[in-house]
A and B are shown apart, each in its own frame.
Chain A
Amino acid sequence: MPRWDRVRESFFNGERLVDSFPRLLDAFVLDIKIFAWSTPAIIALALVLAITRSSRNPALFPIRIFVIGYIDIMRGVPVILWIYLIGFGVPGVGLERPFNSPLLWGSVALVLTYGAYIAEVFRAGIDSVHESQRAASRSLGLSNSQTMRFVILPQAIRRVVPPLMNDLVSLQKDVALVSLIGPIELLRQAGIDKAKFANFTPYVAAAIIFLMITIPLTRTTDYLLARERKRTSATRVR
């Protein structure tokens, strides 16, 4: 491999790595912040969407159609496109500071798209709860919404924790897409360092930093999946 030392020089340069790493870690704090404030909003939105979509109240039919359309549209377009459209589009109507911040609208775009993805996860969970549970609850005089709250949702959420974690791992990476409309987070900072020193090592460093978060998250997911499987099946076939 005659070119190997050149690759090593531009991608695995120890000096550049040591120099960039602290700056990149600082920038990564912003990724974590975006992740931290988006996640609760995503879960809340997803729950509202899933509950509305699963509702059997005939009066909610128009809203159900709207929710289905919303989910289809948000899931059918790449996340990056929504970040561009919402992140550049909304402040473009002439909002004042701080409401014109790309950081704000980039996060909103993440919430709106991931809300739709995760709504489908919750809906699968709601659908997986057997009809007889609903019958038992309604037969005791609980209303539809009480049945959802006390009987269906607690069982549904428990079942979808593993797939939910999966989507959160994806979210943790997609947070970096917000950088494309301005905010200087990890990926963007790596790009700046790369340009400054004409060296790709900061990208490798960024990859390592992402892995420091996503691998433990993935292992946790695996653990939860295995535990769920063990809990729901009494005997295990080897």
Chain B
Amino acid sequence: MKLELRNVRKSFEERVVLAGINLEVKAGEVVSFIGSSGSGKTTLLRCVNLLEPIDDGAIFLDGDEISSVGRDPNPVRRRIGIVFQSFNLFPHMSVRRNITLALTQVVEKSADEANEIASSLLKRFGLGEKIDAYPDQLSGGQQQRVAIVRALAMSPEVLLLDEITSALDPELVGEVLDVVRELKGSGITMLIATHEMNFAREISDRVCFLASGLVAEQGSPTQIFSNPTDERTKQFLRRVQAVGKT
């Protein structure tokens, strides 16, 4: 297993967000998480990246427990990239520097190597001319694509995508999703929290429906979207259908 979550629990004050998540993800698998706001999708991804310490349970990467207390999270984070809903680019740095910062400071690549990686990745995703721009000078879609490139530059084995299109204008969603489509072919393992049901259906090998801090139902996209068995999944899909999201 590439990634394994065993009985992962997480609460904020009194509020239980993850109530014992069990999950196994194979190398190269693309798993989407759907569910209402507050169902724990974002928290789940942040826990996997060790941005949130878990209260109980364990997370394994290639069989190695990464969630143990006192373990240095930095080497783990090099292997697990995350892209955020609100992009979180560094506004005081050019696109180039956003991408090369971790390459030069964390994995100690030379400036030339880091530049090479940044420019070839940017070109690959159609952002070649933006290398010296600052985040404020880019559209939301471009910023989010740069954020994806920034995560990819570290050559992570697992990529976490946290609602990456939720902050975008509708006409910009497509260009960001195209990037993810291209990545699926590259064999990287992806965990995707999303509200885009059509996209989840198209891109996922497996879809997990989260409710009350648990994986309420999981299965192939066809199974979840066409043949849900859990009553909460059915209700959720009816609700999103009503607002035209699928």
Residue A136 interfacial (CB < 8 Å): yes
Cα A128 to Cα B176 in complex, Å, equals: 29
Q: Which residues of A contact B82 (CB under 8 A)?
A: 139
Is A140 touching B91 in the complex (CB atoms < 8 A)? Answer: no
Is B86 touching A132 in the complex (CB atoms < 8 A)? Answer: yes
Mark interface residues in A133-155 (1 if CB within 8 Å of B CB, else 0): 10111111111001000110011
Is A143 touching B74 in the complex (CB atoms < 8 A)? Answer: yes
Is B49 touching A139 in the complex (CB atoms < 8 A)? Answer: yes
Mark interface residues in B143-176 (1 if CB within 8 Å of A CB, else 0): 0000000110010000000000000000000000
Q: Which residues of A contact B84 (CB under 8 A)?
A: 132, 135-136
Cα A154 to Cα B101 in complex, Å, equals: 14
Mark interface residues in A52-84 (1 if CB within 8 Å of B CB, else 0): 000000000000000000000000000000000
> A157 — nearest CB in chain B belongs to which residue?
B92
* Residue tally, chain B, CB below 8 Å to A: 25
Is A154 touching B105 in the complex (CB atoms < 8 A)? Answer: no
Is B88 touching A150 in the complex (CB atoms < 8 A)? Answer: no
Of the candidates B51, B75, B88, B105, which one forms a contact with A142 in the assembled complex, judged by CB atoms under 8 Å apart?
Answer: B105
Cα A138 to Cα B88 in complex, Å, equals: 12
How many interface contacts (CB-CB < 8 Å) are there between A and B? Answer: 58
> A144 — nearest CB in chain B belongs to which residue?
B74
Is B74 touching A139 in the complex (CB atoms < 8 A)? Answer: no
Residue B216 interfacial (CB < 8 Å): no
Residue A238 interfacial (CB < 8 Å): no
Residues of B9-61 contacting chain A, CB below 8 A:
46, 49, 51
Is A158 touching B90 in the complex (CB atoms < 8 A)? Answer: no
Residue B206 interfacial (CB < 8 Å): no
Is A140 touching B150 in the complex (CB atoms < 8 A)? Answer: yes
Q: Which residues of B contact A141 (CB under 8 A)?
A: 74-75, 77-78, 102, 106-107, 154
Mark interface residues in B79-111 (1 if CB within 8 Å of A CB, else 0): 001101010111110000000011001110000
Mark interface residues in A14-53 (1 if CB within 8 Å of B CB, else 0): 0000000000000000000000000000000000000000
> B101 — nearest CB in chain A belongs to which residue?
A150
Cα A135 to Cα B102 in complex, Å, equals: 13
Cα A142 to Cα B105 in complex, Å, equals: 7
Is A135 touching B92 in the complex (CB atoms < 8 A)? Answer: no
Is B91 touching A142 in the complex (CB atoms < 8 A)? Answer: no
Q: Which residues of A contact B51 (CB under 8 A)?
A: 135, 138-139
> B105 — nearest CB in chain A belongs to which residue?
A146
Q: Which residues of A contact B151 (CB under 8 A)?
A: 139-140
Q: Which residues of A contact B105 (CB under 8 A)?
A: 142, 146, 150
User: Given A132-B84, A150-B101 in contact, is the A139-B77 Cβ separation under 8 Å?
Assistant: yes
Taking the closest CB of chain B, its distance from the CB of A235, in whole angstroms, is 14
Q: A136, A146, A154 — which one has the most chain B CB atoms within 10 A of its CB?
A: A136
Binding site for A on B (CB under 8 A): 46, 49, 51, 73-75, 77-78, 81-82, 84, 86, 88-92, 101-102, 105-107, 150-151, 154
Q: Top 8 nearest A-B pairs by Cβ distance? A: A136-B88, A140-B102, A141-B106, A141-B78, A141-B77, A132-B88, A139-B82, A141-B74
25 residue pairs A–B, Cβ–Cβ below 8 Å: A132-B84, A133-B88, A133-B90, A135-B51, A136-B88, A136-B90, A137-B90, A138-B51, A138-B74, A139-B51, A139-B77, A139-B81, A139-B82, A140-B101, A140-B102, A140-B151, A140-B154, A141-B75, A141-B102, A141-B106, A141-B107, A142-B74, A142-B101, A150-B90, A158-B92
Assuming A136-B89, A139-B81, what are 13 further A-B pairs, CB within 8 angstroms?
A135-B84, A138-B51, A138-B74, A139-B51, A140-B102, A141-B77, A142-B74, A142-B102, A143-B74, A150-B90, A150-B101, A154-B92, A155-B90
Binding site for B on A (CB under 8 A): 132-133, 135-143, 146, 150-151, 154-155, 158
